[in-house]
Amino acid sequence: MKVTDRNTLIPLPRVKDMAERPGRPVKGSQGHADRVSLSTEAQQMQQADAERVAELARAISEGRYQVDLERLAEAFVRKELP
């Protein structure tokens, strides 16, 4: 992919700054502030995902997580995994 318009790119440090300050405006390359916010539904999904990840991390660290090899193999066959 060739990028020709540098005005549409946000340098990496600015992206990191945006992640650390969710919901706060960040001045774009044109000098105006951009604002992004998640819907209530998206916030609830994000919270549910975070809880699921935390539970999986606990299960792995405690040795309770069991890999379903058959399900994993089927996912590879269906190309659902990279």
Predicted local distance difference test score (pLDDT) of residue 15: 53
Whether the pLDDT of residue 18 is over 90: the answer is no
Predicted local distance difference test score (pLDDT) of residue 31: 63
pLDDT tens per residue across span 19-77? 556 556 555 556 667 788 888 898 888 888 999 999 999 999 999 999 999 999 988 88
DSSP 21: S
| Dihedral sign (CA 67, 73, 79, 82) | positive
Tell if the pTM clears 0.85, that is, is over it: no
Q: Which residues of 33-51 are buried (b: 16+ CB within 10 A; e: fewer)?
A: eeeeeeeeeeeeeeeeeee
